[in-house]
């Protein structure tokens, strides 16, 4: 039987193109921060939705509070039914997390995931968690035997999901900063990534110990975001609170909202909308009628006498407050809040639950890969490497290879 040469040639050409585009033998690089001790810091995970999902589903996937996820993205967290709103696939989000020290490196180890039918280590890593972990990292964290990352997992199998993050003392160039773990996408360059996060190529390169400003899809960069820092006592459960510029954070059991910017990088806290919680402790300052976020200003001959009631942390289930008074050259105007954006909406209003199983944080597995010496004047980051071939690419290549063989027979 004659072979259909044009069809074979076309299929072979397409296979060659895909094979060339696939990262065969390539590795995805992740910036890691060596550490010791049991301290943790606030951090952000850059996550892109792989399907239409409710806000509550995204939050459950990462063991986060739905309102906190919206606040971290300056989305309207107080709108009615916000937790049940459906976000469209492809929506990029910043998910707040605690960056712990586990096995000598910084990572978030609080996320638990229950495997679904047809899940594989590869699909969980590349699809469900959008490339934040690798299949090898999940395997190591759970003490699983080395096997094909495309082998099906047992439905209901509980997995620890290690996620990349860094602290770098929560500073960047001696200024407060919170670090975002960003997964490089097709078409990204260091220049475009830096511009979209209001930083510089030099800063991104230094933080990530990059010999040259070149990235590949699947690489994970630590992006420093200017932030407002807090000075709450160590006894407060929200000690060390950081809020990225232009966003919000919820604290004190969702009773208090703290914002950063846009006029300055001073943390500003006020009572959160009543719809977010059932009850809150008193927010009134002692010996004053002012509550958290309130201020009085009285012009005087020497300037303006200003008194304000400030949030001082969440201590033993109580909202701590402090009253400050002083003379300023001029009376301050109304406080400017970061603008809130309406939630995007999926056009088909169909969501797909990720069936996450969040649980209390425990130490996970080590992030595989070596480390290099960091720049002398930069943070202590170093790149690690993990396989980067993704599941969809494998499927396409295998399908076309079968087509070529079928035509040849």
Reported as a single tens digit per residue, the pLDDT across 137-188 is 999 999 998 878 899 999 999 999 999 999 999 999 999 999 999 999 999 9
Do the strands 105-114 and 158-164 form a parallel or antiparallel pair, or are they unpaired? Answer: antiparallel
Token pair for residue 261? 């910017």
Distance CA 22, CA 388 (A): 9
Can you list the residues of the chain whose pLDDT is less than 50?
A: 1-25, 349-351, 356-380, 387-409
Give the total number of structural domains in the chain: 1
Q: How large is the angle between the packed helices 5-21 and 391-408, nearest 10 degrees?
A: 160
Predicted local distance difference test score (pLDDT) of residue 346: 77
Predicted local distance difference test score (pLDDT) of residue 381: 58
Range of the domain at 313: 281-332
Predicted local distance difference test score (pLDDT) of residue 382: 58
Predicted local distance difference test score (pLDDT) of residue 278: 79
CB 245 within 8 A of CB 228: yes
**Does residue 107 belong to any structural domain of this protein?**
no
Predicted local distance difference test score (pLDDT) of residue 345: 83
Please measure the distance between the N-terminal and C-terminal CA atoms of the chain and give it in whole angstroms: 9
Predicted local distance difference test score (pLDDT) of residue 380: 47
Q: Quick one: which H or E segment has residue 403?
A: helix 391-408
* Burial class of residue 76 (count of CB atoms within 10 Å of its CB; 0-12, 13-18, 19+): middle
Q: Quick one: which H or E segment has residue 199?
A: none
Distance CA 199, CA 166 (A): 17
Predicted local distance difference test score (pLDDT) of residue 384: 58
If you count them, how many residues does the chain have? 409
Q: Quick one: which H or E segment has residue 241?
A: none
The pTM score is 0.81
Cβ contacts of 390-394, under 8 Å, gap ≥ 24: 390/122, 390/126, 390/131, 390/218, 391/120, 391/122, 391/123, 391/126, 391/127, 391/150, 392/126, 393/18, 393/22, 394/122, 394/150
**Does residue 225 belong to any structural domain of this protein?**
no
Distance CA 275, CA 78 (A): 7
**Does residue 287 belong to any structural domain of this protein?**
yes
**Does residue 81 belong to any structural domain of this protein?**
no
* Burial class of residue 196 (count of CB atoms within 10 Å of its CB; 0-12, 13-18, 19+): exposed
**Does residue 142 belong to any structural domain of this protein?**
no
Predicted local distance difference test score (pLDDT) of residue 82: 96
CB 389 within 8 A of CB 22: yes
Distance CA 158, CA 356 (A): 9
Cβ-proximal residues to 123 (8 Å cutoff; 6+ apart), any chain: 150, 391
CB 128 within 8 A of CB 118: no
Do the strands 175-183 and 41-48 form a parallel or antiparallel pair, or are they unpaired? Answer: parallel
**Does residue 293 belong to any structural domain of this protein?**
yes
Quick check: helix, strand or coil at residue 136?
helix
**Does residue 257 belong to any structural domain of this protein?**
no
Cβ-proximal residues to 99 (8 Å cutoff; 6+ apart), any chain: 40, 41, 42, 43, 106, 107, 108, 165, 166, 167, 179
Do the strands 220-229 and 248-251 form a parallel or antiparallel pair, or are they unpaired? Answer: unpaired
Instruction: Pick the closest to residue 158 from 111, 201, 198, 203 (CA basis).
Output: 111
Cβ-proximal residues to 213 (8 Å cutoff; 6+ apart), any chain: 189, 190, 191, 201, 204, 205
**Does residue 312 belong to any structural domain of this protein?**
yes
Instruction: Pick the closest to residue 207 from 185, 184, 190 (CA basis).
Output: 190
User: Residue holding tokens 């107080």?
Assistant: 78
């Amino acid at each position: 039987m004659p072979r259909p040469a044009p069809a074979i040639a076309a299929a072979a050409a397409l296979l060659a193109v895909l094979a060339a585009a696939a990262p065969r033998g390539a590795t995805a690089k992740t910036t890691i921060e060596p550490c010791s001790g049991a301290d943790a810091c606030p951090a952000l995970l850059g996550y892109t939705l792989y399907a239409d999902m409710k806000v509550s589903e995204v939050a459950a996937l990462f063991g986060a509070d739905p309102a906190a996820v919206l606040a971290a993205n300056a989305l309207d967290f107080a709108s009615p039914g916000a937790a049940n709103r459906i976000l469209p696939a492809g929506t990029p989000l910043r998910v707040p997390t605690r960056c712990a020290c586990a096995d000598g490196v910084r990572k978030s180890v609080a996320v638990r995931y229950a495997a679904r039918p047809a899940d594989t280590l590869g699909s969980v890593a590349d699809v469900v968690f959008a490339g934040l972990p690798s299949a090898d990292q999940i395997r190591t964290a759970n003490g699983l035997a080395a096997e094909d990352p495309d082998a099906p997992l047992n439905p209901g199998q509980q997995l620890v999901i290690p996620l990349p993050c860094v602290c770098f003392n929560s500073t960047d160039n001696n200024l407060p900063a919170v670090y975002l773990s960003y997964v490089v996408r097709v078409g990204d360059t260091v220049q475009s990534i830096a511009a979209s996060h209001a930083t510089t190529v030099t800063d991104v390169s230094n933080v990530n110990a990059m010999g040259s400003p070149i990235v590949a899809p699947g690489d994970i960069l630590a992006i420093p975001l200017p932030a407002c820092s807090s000075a709450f006592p160590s006894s407060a459960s929200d000690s060390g609170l950081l809020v990225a510029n232009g966003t919000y954070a919820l604290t004190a059991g969702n009773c208090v909202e703290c914002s950063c910017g846009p006029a300055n990088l001073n943390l500003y806290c006020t009572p959160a909308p009543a719809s977010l919680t059932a009850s809150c402790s008193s927010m009134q300052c002692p010996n004053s009628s002012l509550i958290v976020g309130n201020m009085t200003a009285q012009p005087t001959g020497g300037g303006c006498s200003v008194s304000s009631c400030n949030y001082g942390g969440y201590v033993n289930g109580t909202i701590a407050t402090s009253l400050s008074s002083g003379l300023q050259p001029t009376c301050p105007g109304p406080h400017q809040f970061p603008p809130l954006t309406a939630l995007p909406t999926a056009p088909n209003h169909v969501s797909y639950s990720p069936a996450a199983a969040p649980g209390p944080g425990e130490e996970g597995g080590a992030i595989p890969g070596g480390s290099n010496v960091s720049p002398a004047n930069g943070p202590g980051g170093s790149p690690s490497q993990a396989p980067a071939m993704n599941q969809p690419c494998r499927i396409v290549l295998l399908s076309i290879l079968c087509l070529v063989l079928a035509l040849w027979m």
